[in-house]
Amino acid sequence: MAVGKESLLEVHPVSGIRLASVQAGIRYADRYDLVLVELAEGSISAGVFTRNAFCAAPVIVARQNLAVMAPRYLLINTGNANAGTGKQGMTDALGCCAQLADLQKIDAQAVLPFSTGVIGESLPVDKLIAALPEAVAALAPDQWLAAARGIMTTDTRPKLASKKVQLGETTVTITGMAKGAGMLKPNMATMLAYVFTDAQFAKPALQQALSTAVELSFNRLTVDGDTSTNDACILVATGQSGVEPETDVACLKAFQHALNDLMIELATGLIRDAEGATKFVTIAVQGGESVAECLQVAYCVAESPLVKTALFASDPNWGRILAAVGRAGLENLDLDAITISLGDVPLVADGGRDPRYSEAAGQSEMDREEITITINLGRGDHAETVWTSDLSHEYVRINAEYRS
């Protein structure tokens, strides 16, 4: 179940990147569950990771390795999160890196491991290691769709985005993939996301570009308010185009704009494919005193079970939205200054129901697959947008049966 039709986009390969997706049998038979990405020598990488205190062993290892060495390989498994696994989990993550490093004759710290799946179960290291030679042999520059499918768990379709941007006289490519459908309130990134470009960057500038894009995209969505133990987002610059955006203000601005757009496309793709989703919902908060208070209100509405179930039922029960705004915790609210609308339909004004509202108009908006709720706080100039989904019977079923 997903909102909107799956688009078959043209994927632009990134020079210096090879990918492979194989079946390791980590949790299920006959399922592609191990993805390997090879980064050309000289590539620079940046990353952001989960802020969950119980972060997974591969997150710890990836963060440590990224700090000391330019990565050559990304090793990604699904079916098992290797989280909540204590010292053994660290041993397993390090062991997988060491096995790939031995196979490819590189330093083990040049491998970044990533895992996603069930928390609290030991990683079947033997199965993963046994599949490594096949993954290495399968590496190719055109396996983007296979890799995007290989990192899926409860996703129903792959998420890929690809852009070309003109920087001076040269065209630069940016292509990325992401996965995530539940346990999704990133607080930094998403479940897993990998973006690649052939532009050339120094690491500090690449990290800044990534952090800026993440804040506008993956840090603006929520499915259920749960921040995963395994969140990671990596940006790799192979440098093979020879273009250095950071040396020219206009080029850097154009690159950042394209990167922001691509990551927003990936992030909203996750919401469209959220577990059990039947609605794609935009919560736009305007007129705030600060970015923080706009997000505070937006997330309070987006994560309200009562709002989310009303959205699933296509019920224009606007009182639930009003109540969520009121309990968001903002001080000194002028209730008469707040307006709320559903699409183009005014819901709330002057502290109560807008006299222009009609149930028929509200129902017409709620019947849509894509819904926008706009809240104007009437107390400042800041505005923020958060994307979310509804809460359906299917969401409950998927998560009730997740380990079965």
CATH number of the domain that residue 109 is part of: 3.60.70.12
Same domain, 88 and 214: yes
Q: How confident is the model at residue 26 (pLDDT cuts 50, 70, 90)?
A: very high
For the ranges 33-47, 99-113, 187-201, which has the lowest average pLDDT? 187-201
Q: Is residue 361 classed exposed, middle or buried when 0-12, 13-18 and 19+ CB atoms within 10 A define those classes? A: middle
- Do residues 71 and 41 share a domain? yes
Is 10 inside any structural domain? Answer: no
Residue 189 pLDDT exceeds 60? no
Mean pLDDT of 214-222: 92
Which pLDDT value is given to residue 180? 81
- Tell me the pLDDT band of 187, cut-offs 50, 70 and 90: low
Does 403 have pLDDT greater than 80?
no
Q: Is residue 324 part of a domain?
A: yes
Out of 246, 272, 298, a domain closes at 272
Question: Could you give the CA distance from residue 238 to residue 39 in angstroms, rounded to a whole number?
Answer: 7
pLDDT of 344 reads 96
Report yes or no on 231 lying in a domain. Answer: yes
How much is the average pLDDT of 293-306? 96
In Å, what is the CA distance from 43 to each residue of 12, 63, 110, 197?
A: 18, 17, 11, 10
Shared domain for 258 and 298, answered yes or no, is no
Low-confidence winner among 176-185, 332-341, 350-359, 369-378 (lowest mean pLDDT): 176-185
Residue 176 within a domain: yes
Query: Does residue 287 sit in the same domain as residue 392?
Result: yes
DSSP reduced 3-state for 385: strand
Domain of 361, CATH number, reads: 3.10.20.340
Name which of 2-11, 48-57, 69-78, 173-182 the model is least confident about. 2-11
Same domain, residue pair 259 and 305: no
In contact, 236 and 195? CB cutoff 8 Å: yes
Q: What is the DSSP string of 208-235?
A: HHHHHHHHHTGGGB-SSSPBPSS-EEEE
Buried b (16+ CB within 10 A) or exposed e, 324-355: bbeebebeebeeeebbbbbbebbbbbeeeebe
Pair (298, 345) in one structural domain = yes
Please indicate, yes or no, whether residues 311 and 170 belong to a single structural domain of this protein: no
Hey, is 182 helix, strand or coil?
Answer: coil
CA torsion angle for 362, 365, 367, 372 (degrees, to 10)?
-120
Classify residue 6: in a domain, yes or no. Answer: no
Q: How far apart are CA 235 and CA 48, in angstroms?
A: 9
Q: Are residues 251 and 301 in the same domain?
A: no
Is residue 165 assigned to a domain?
yes
CA of 386: how far to CAs of 83, 241, 291, 302, 389, in Å? 28, 34, 12, 8, 10
Q: How far apart are CA 254 and CA 182, in angstroms?
A: 32
Q: Per the domain annotation, does 336 fall within a domain?
A: yes
Where are any strands of DSSP class E within 124-218?
A: 159-167, 170-179, 192-197
Instruction: Please report which helix (H) or strand (E) contains residue 393, including its range.
Output: helix 393-400
Length of the chain: 404
CA distance 396 to 348: 31
CA dist 291 → 90, 205, 265, 298, 380 (Å): 38, 24, 22, 11, 10
Q: Which residues are catalytic?
A: 190
pLDDT at 224: 80
Residue 275: pLDDT band (50, 70, 90) is: confident
User: Same domain, yes or no, for 179 and 257?
Assistant: yes
CA separation for the pair 43, 94 (Å, rounded)? 22
d(CA 179, CA 177): 7
Q: Are residues 230 and 357 part of one domain?
A: no
Tokens coding 146: 């296979």
Q: Which domain holds residue 340?
A: 280-400
Distance CA 404, CA 399 (A): 10
128-161 residue pLDDT tens: 999 999 999 999 999 999 999 999 988 888 999 9
Q: Domain for residue 9, yes or no? A: no
pLDDT for 153:
85
Among 256, 272, 288, residue at a domain's last position? 272
Residue in 174, 219, 169 with CA at minimum distance from that of residue 195: 174
How remote is the C-alpha of 251 from its chain's centroid? 26
Inter-residue contact 104 to 220 (CB < 8 Å) = no
Looking at the fold, whether 242 and 338 belong to one and the same domain comes out as: no
Name the token pair of 380.
């400042």
Q: Picking from 90-104, 179-193, 228-242, 278-292, which range would have the lowest pLDDT averaged per residue?
A: 179-193
- HEC-encoded secondary structure of 311-355: HHCCCCCHHHHHHHHHCCCCCCCCHHHCEEEECCEEEEECCEECC
Q: What is the pLDDT of residue 300?
A: 96
Q: How far apart are CA 78 and CA 31, in angstroms?
A: 10
Query: Final residue of a domain: which of 228, 245, 272?
Result: 272
pLDDT band at 188 (very low <50, low <70, confident <90, very high): low
Give the count of domains, the chain.
Answer: 2
Q: Are residues 231 and 167 in the same domain?
A: yes
